[in-house]
A and B are shown apart, each in its own frame.
Chain A
Amino acid sequence: MSGMNVPATIDQIFILFTDWVAHFFPAAIRPIVGVVLGVIGIISVFPGLFALTTVFERKGLGRMQNRYGPNRVGPFGFFQPVADGIKALTKEDVVPFRADGVLHFLAPVVLLAAVFMGFAILPVGRNMVLVDMDAGLLFFFAMGASTELSVFMAGWSSRNKYSLLGAMRAVAQMISYEIPLLLSSVVVIMVAGTLSLPKIVEAQAGYTGIWPHWYVFTPWGLAAFLMFGIAATSETNRSPFDLPEGESELVAGYFTEYSGFKFAIFFIAEYLAMFSMSGIATTLFLGGWSAPLSFLNVLPSWFWFFSKVMCFIFIFIWVRGTLPRLRQDQLMNFAWKFVLPFTLLDLFVTALWRFMGEGWARWIVCSAILIAAYVAMGRVGMFRKNFAHRRYRYAE
């Protein structure tokens, strides 16, 4: 087999493995075996990535705050998730006496189920998507909308005023940022012409010279990408939008009364939501599994997908360690008075982009409109605030 194309084989290695396993089963249930293997893959890879991310986050945040992160368990502290897992599994499961037992138990389960469903339509590599649905992106947003209700269930069933307050803040925040999230992806749907995620990736898989056709390299794509990133950070309750779970404000927000394994499930669900949002952002704007430069296509497609997702995770951690937390009213103001109008304008600019046809004119016009709008909204927003010039005093 000397004519075998090694990079293509490594690229499709998981598909070939699935086909090889399926041959041991009768032909009638081969599709089911394929799907089951895909599900096993998702359930093992993404929680594994979650374990890695927890240690990255703690060490990354530690370094940004000029300290070491965890460095005792294993080489450089990389077995910390194992220790965390053992702790979470062996802790006593405390349920408050007056808590609503059934809802208290079901809330983390519903959240985890809804978040896992979001991975079903993610194209992880070339030909590697669990279900290629015609309305895939709509399915993803429907699953995202289902998570809000379980957050509320968690907060309400604890019969704790802090939890309820945290839950209502979290739900209000998630609803407010859901509209910019959807509108910035509508922009991509408009240009790609389809809701099916593998087809959106294929629409971005071309190269001019060595530069890729990713949507993030267009003016409207960059604006939509930034708004999607902001909305995704807020949907998953990450800093700087993490007031609902603010550790210094609300004890722990809507999961105050959860301990042990249920808390671990909430934690897993939050990080998995972060992964699926990063995955969708990669698919919509960063070209999914296609390589950044055309000659880098020798590396497998799933490698590029996961590298881009890990870049996103790094940006999430970076933003968490850098920016201060937004207050609830500042958060809502930001959503309704800046992000939403900007995404609406972006919709219009994308339509203009398609209408103007090929050429350099559309680049200039679209970029000019977006930059002018951004500057104008920023100026208007700062108009009535008087800020004194900040004086820095350092400890000598």
Chain B
Amino acid sequence: MSPIFYLLAAITVAGGLATVLLKNLVHCALAVTIAFLGLALLFLSLDAQFAGFVQILVYIGAVAILVVFAILLTREAEVPESSPAGRVFSKTWLTGLVIAAAVFAMLGWAVLQSAQALPNETAMPAVSVRDIGNALVGRYVLPLEIVALLLTAATIGAVIVAMHEKEAK
């Protein structure tokens, strides 16, 4: 495997680890942005240019900003650097960790067991944006329309949920 892959994988995993381990919320949000960036670069290394740029545009340009705004809007008045009880992890953190480790063990075992059966380097036919466009309005037009409907519903729903409630008279 090329050194670039190891570097990108290291960046992504480091970003993910920093997200779940850091105390300061805004630092966590910025660490997850690094993980998103690492993933976008991994997509680019897999010849999925469109998916990589869409990942940067949507996740770093919108979701990360959403998260940061939510963090800023839900701060307590005088926010200490660590949470009041001095803990950022819940009381049952060990159970969660064990479950996550078990999931990783199972997935890793599945991947390594079938490593011989997985296909090797294959030549990649050049995928142009025009093909993606044709696919979107050809074969995948139904998911496209449904996603449009979903995004409209989500926008209206998020605005209504987060709106200031009118004073009940």
Q: Direct contact between A and B in the complex (CB less than 8 angstroms)?
A: yes
Spell out A's residues near B (CB within 8 Å). 103, 133-135, 138-139, 141-146, 148-149, 152-153, 156, 164, 168, 171, 175, 178, 193-195
Contact residues in B for A156 (Cβ distance below 8 Å): 26, 68, 72
Residue B14, interface by CB 8 Å: no
The 8 A CB mask of B42-80 against A (1 = contact, 0 = none) is 000000011001101100111011001100100000000
Chain A to chain B contacts (Cβ below 8 Å), 17 pairs: A103-B27, A134-B128, A138-B50, A139-B53, A142-B53, A142-B57, A142-B60, A145-B60, A145-B62, A148-B65, A149-B30, A149-B61, A149-B68, A156-B68, A164-B72, A175-B62, A178-B61
Q: A144-B61, A193-B130 are in contact. List 17 more A-B contacts (CB 8 A).
A: A133-B49, A134-B129, A142-B56, A142-B60, A143-B56, A145-B56, A146-B60, A146-B61, A149-B61, A149-B64, A152-B68, A168-B69, A168-B72, A171-B69, A175-B62, A175-B65, A194-B130
Cα distance A149–B54 in the bound complex, in angstroms: 16
Spell out B's residues near A (CB within 8 Å). 26-27, 30, 33, 49-50, 53-54, 56-57, 60-62, 64-65, 68-69, 72, 128-130
Asked if A195 and B129 sit within 8 Å, CB to CB, the answer is yes
Known contacts A149-B60, A149-B64, A175-B65: A138-B54 contact under CB 8 Å:
yes
Cα distance A148–B64 in the bound complex, in angstroms: 10
The 8 residue pairs across chains A and B that have the minimum distance between CB atoms: A145-B61, A142-B56, A142-B57, A138-B53, A142-B53, A135-B129, A195-B129, A145-B57
Task: Say what secondary structure dominates the interface of chain A.
Answer: helix
Contact residues in B for A193 (Cβ distance below 8 Å): 130
Q: Which residue of A lies closest to B50 (CB)?
A: A135
Contact residues in A for B64 (Cβ distance below 8 Å): 149
Contact residues in B for A134 (Cβ distance below 8 Å): 49, 128-129
Contact residues in B for A145 (Cβ distance below 8 Å): 56-57, 60-62
Task: Tell which of A133, A135, A153 touches B30, judged by Cβ atoms closer than 8 Å.
Answer: A153
Shortest B27–chain A CB gap in Å is 8
Shortest A114–chain B CB gap in Å is 10
Cα distance A140–B55 in the bound complex, in angstroms: 13
Asked if B49 and A149 sit within 8 Å, CB to CB, the answer is no
Q: Which residue of A lies closest to B58 (CB)?
A: A145
Asked if A149 and B33 sit within 8 Å, CB to CB, the answer is yes
Cα distance A152–B54 in the bound complex, in angstroms: 21
Q: Which of B26, B49, B65 has the most CB of A within 10 A?
A: B65
Shortest B125–chain A CB gap in Å is 13
Contact residues in A for B57 (Cβ distance below 8 Å): 138, 141-142, 145
Contact residues in A for B72 (Cβ distance below 8 Å): 156, 164, 168
